[in-house]
Amino acid sequence: NAGVTQTPKFRILKIGQSMTLQCTQDMNHNYMYWYRQDPGMGLKLIYYSVGAGITDKGEVPNGYNVSRSTTEDFPLRLELAAPSQTSVYFCASKSQGESKNIQYFGAGTRLSVL
Amino acid sequence: QKEVEQNSGPLSVPEGAIASLNCTYSDRGSQSFFWYRQYSGKSPELIMFIYSNGDKEDGRFTAQLNKASQYVSLLIRDSQPSDSATYLCAVDTSIIQGAQKLVFGQGTRLTINP
């Protein structure tokens, strides 16, 4: 049982490049989330999903896109990367069952845009 | 804009003492409150959640909620060096039950001195 797996762990992008951050969970959780965390700051919600085919914006969605075609996967797409998107990105998932209060986080992707 | 405020610290506490972490929030309609612990370079992990006014205890941790004052706190008794981490307060702002759209504070960095 791997939990929430994020790839890659590290990435350097040039300004204007695009990339997809991968997130997969093997806990059959309905809810999935993408956050970013800037140095010395708390997490900010980018997008979330309440189930396959359903996504919605969080606090800071601009510059990002998501899709949720399966329960397991919730990729985050960065188009036209900008230095302001340099951050650590965390994916999380949550069940609607017994442990419904707990968001389980992946290990994070550290992204630098230069 | 719904806001969650924390003193960023650092907060330094001697081993064995009580560490007190505080958080205020702006949305009076918020119902659910969470404390996450984040070790340096790691992902956040949930340590406490609270819904009702008053105290909720779990081992050495006590969460306190005062909705009238829009104030949440976390007490750590008998502080240990392993408690040294950043503590993130989060508030659920979702209107869809169960979706758990969290707004995080900037975190308080806690250091326990042996």
Taking CB atoms and an 8 Å cut-off, how many pairs form between chains A and B? Answer: 54
Predicted confidence (pLDDT) per residue in B95-104, tens digit:
877 889 999 9
Higher-pLDDT residue of B65, B94: B65
Put simply, whether B88 touches A (Cβ < 8 Å) is: yes
Average pLDDT of the residues in A15-35:
96
Residues A84, B31: Cα–Cα separation, whole Å:
32
The pLDDT tens digits of the residues spanning B38-78 come to 999 999 999 999 999 999 999 999 999 999 999 999 999 99
- The residue of chain B with its CA nearest to that of A100 is B98
Q: Is the pLDDT of residue A1 over 90?
A: no
CB contact under 8 A, B101 and A48: yes
Q: B107 with B8: CB under 8 angstroms?
A: yes
B101 vs A58: CB contact, 8 Å cut-off?
yes
Q: Any CB–CB contact under 8 A between A39 and chain B?
A: no
Q: What span, in angstroms and rounded, lies between the C-alpha atoms of A40 and A37? A: 8
Is residue A40 within 8 angstroms of chain B, CB to CB? Answer: yes
Side-chain half-sphere of A104: how many Cα atoms within 13 Å? 21
Instruction: Give the list of residues 6+ apart from residue B79 with CB closer than 8 angstroms, or none.
Output: B13, B14, B15, B16, B17, B18, B19, B112
Least Cα separation, residue A59 to chain B (angstroms): 8
Asked whether residue B1 carries a pLDDT value surpassing 80, the answer given is no
Contacts of A96 in chain B (CB under 8 A): 98
* Residue among A50, A102, A108 minimizing CB distance to B46: A102
Q: What is the pLDDT of residues A35-80, one digit of tens each?
A: 999 988 899 999 999 999 999 999 999 999 999 999 999 999 998 9
Q: Which of A98, A80, A72, A101 lies closest to A1 in space, CA to CA? A: A72
| 44-73 of B, contacting A, C-beta below 8 A | 44-46, 49
